[in-house]
Amino acid sequence: MSDSAVAADPPPVGRPQPRLPAGPAQPAPSAGQVRPEPPDLRLAGLAVAAWLTALAGLHLGSRTTLLVAGTVAGLTAIGAAHLLGRLGRPRAVVRRYGWVAVAVGLGVVCAGAATAARLAVRDAPAIRALVEQRAPITADLVVRDDPRPIRSAGRPGMLLVSSELVRLTGPDGRRIHASVRLLVLATDPAWRGLLPGQRLTVDGRLGVPRGGDLTAAVLSTTGPPERHGAPSWAQRAAGTLRTGLQRACAPLPDDPGGLLPGLVVGDTSRLPPAVEADFQATGMTHLNAVSGSNVAIVVGAVLLLARWSRAGPWLAAALCGVALVGFVILVRPSPSVVRAATMGAIGLAALAAGRPRAALPALAAAVTVLVLVDPELAGDPGFALSVLATGGLLLLAPQWRDGLRRRGVPPGLAEALAVPAAAQLACGPVVAGISGTVSLVAVPANLLAVPAIAPATVLGVLAAMVSPIWPAGAEFVAWLASWPAWWLVVIARQGARLPGGTLPWPGGVPGALLLTGLTVALLIAARRPLVRRLVAVVGVAAVLGALPVRLLAAGWPPARWVVVACAVGQGDALVLPVDPGRAVVVDAGPEPGAVDGCLRRLGVREVPLLVISHFHADHV
């Protein structure tokens, strides 16, 4: 096992882990022993309250949020006065849980005030009036994140650019200074390659945002931006290293060569759609994005080198800090990367120190600070997955690991099983709400991926660092990294082909809440030995009952198939075989991923004839 940690964005259940801290002792203490104290839940209550309040405030608006915060502030003050004895002597049970309630109230008040303040700026009357008029404007803005392509059947080549508005000039020539978030929808190729921090001037037309975040408006533009000045040195350095990594991966095969930049720096521009679909089906999509686990792997590798060289604690901490800053620069210090770095650093520090009791308050403090600074994170699925995965690793994995060891499972295997299972269980409700499916192969697939993730990440970072001074050496290092990347592709491909690997599940908030309730009920019920035995018996019976069906079923596609209708979005693509590995395709849908995956599962490698019934976006 590696000495790195997990703190992931789309469920990071397969990252290499450090040694887990010892879980709470299970046997009853003897007369001379002291039972371990329960964890301090005050900061946890503060963090959860702040998180939920910010999330609700994004949908309720500034006035309602401020009214709720003011009401809770009064109730919290009364409760604190009672606990301090100013309003009578509190009972024992009130003293025991009262301060947790006060912490919850403080979380509501602080997050409510912070969110209401940001919403008031977002909903400034001058900007809101222009948005409702869909007025043409000239905007001065700062790029916040890399431009991202949008899959749009009607408008191909569209880019989404997250930015910060500095000043806008309305149709009447009036200038408005405001610091609000703006989403730019651009079609001009000149928007590609922009770096975070660049200052731009652009002409466009305002539109109404979807709501639920801090975005004040959507700006649609068809022209190129006017750039002012050069990007910062950090962004230029990151661009050079990222370009060097892409060049080093260019000679590699498409599958590992497209995965490696995504694994290292989150660049999925070369990732084949079929590989992306396989990773989604097996719960491995977190490997295609930079998460706290990437941070933990890189910093953990530096920590191992520092310990191997017998560096002192201060020198080791300094080296890890330099590695952390350098990696954040490499992957671009966007808000999502800063969040991932914070979660990864917390998980690594807490687990490496072996202090689980200090880890939960540290995680709670980080959540509180991040939500207060940027309330929009409360509605970010990546933020939720990072927090839940870290919490599952800290709270569930040590107990499960110790339970497996008491039942005779070897320590290394117990740790390898407990870590992905805990992270998957913690992240499962959010993933189910987003995707509308529950993956049954996610835990074993990520468990098999563990040995390959750290080598691929470390070698990929090394290839990027070497590329500016030794391109041939960077290509060799990238070739070495392609072997563990190829293993990840094989795991995802084979896991996606397993029948019944994913189950349909209600999507959205109802589906997430339903799976959360089932998960909590299972965790509570599993504490009883009888329930554990019943769950084991039901699981074994389900597997044994389904096994004959799977063995006797003909599988898909059936032998000597004549025609197959592939779901490609709004319509279907028809596939008619002509020879082994060759077929005629009628219509293809708006995106290549769906039809490519269907053809791959059918074993079609060549399409001698493509028929388009009519030139509508859902058929071409």
Coil/strand/helix, residue 533: helix
> What pLDDT, on a 0 to 100 scale, did the predictor assign at position 26?
44
Provide the H-helix boundaries in 288-410: 292-308, 313-330, 335-353, 356-373, 381-395, 397-406
pLDDT tens per residue, range 84-103: 877 767 776 667 778 888 88
What is residue 606's DSSP assignment? B
Distance of alpha carbon 50 from alpha carbon 112, whole angstroms: 8
- The model's pTM is 0.74
What confidence score (pLDDT) does residue 477 get?
94
Whether residue 10 is predicted with pLDDT greater than 50 in this model: the reply is no
Q: What is the pLDDT of residue 612?
A: 86
- pLDDT single digits (tens) 308-357: 887 776 777 778 778 887 888 788 765 556 766 776 566 556 555 555 45
Q: Looking at 22-31, 130-139, 242-251, which range is the least confident one?
A: 22-31
pLDDT of residue 316: 74
What average pLDDT does the structure give for the chain? 79
User: For the chain, first and last CA: distance in Å?
Assistant: 48
Q: Which of 1-5, 58-62, 327-331, 536-540 has the lowest mean pLDDT?
A: 1-5
Give the residue ranges of DSSP H helices in 498-608. 508-525, 529-552, 592-602
Mean pLDDT over 28-38 rounds to 47
pLDDT band, residue 152 (cuts 50/70/90): low
- Give 168 or 357, the one with higher predicted confidence: 168
Over range 235-261, report the average pLDDT.
87
d(CA 49, CA 95): 20
Q: Which pLDDT does position 350 carry in this prediction?
A: 57
How many CA atoms within 13 Å lie on the side-chain side of 109?
14
SS3 for 192? coil
Taking only Cα atoms into account, the Rg of the chain, rounded to an integer number of angstroms, comes to 27
Confidence of residue 402 (pLDDT cuts 50, 70, 90): confident
pLDDT score at 39: 56
For residue 99, give Cα distances in angstroms to 72, 89, 96.
15, 14, 7
Q: What is the average pLDDT across 603-611?
A: 86
| pLDDT tens, residue by residue, 459-508 | 998 999 899 999 999 999 999 999 999 999 999 888 887 777 777 788 78
pLDDT at res. 606: 86
Q: What value does the mean pLDDT take over residues 513-525?
A: 82
- Please give the CATH number for the structural domain made up of 125-234: 2.40.50.140
Q: What is the token pair recorded at 500?
A: 């019944």
Q: Which residues pair with 182 in a beta bridge?
A: 163, 217
Write the pLDDT tens digit of every residue in 536-580: 676 666 555 655 555 555 556 777 888 888 877 667 888 999 888
Q: How many helices (H) and strands (E) does the chain have?
A: 19, 13
Share of the chain above pLDDT 70, in %: 80
pLDDT of residue 199: 92
Domain ranges of the chain: 62-122, 125-234, 512-552, 564-611
Q: Where are the beta strands (DSSP E) in 124-174?
A: 136-143, 148-149, 159-169
Of the listed ranges 249-258, 365-374, 428-437, the least confidently predicted one is: 428-437
Q: Determine what percent of the chain is predicted with pLDDT higher than 90.
A: 19
> Which amino acid does the sequence have at 89?
R
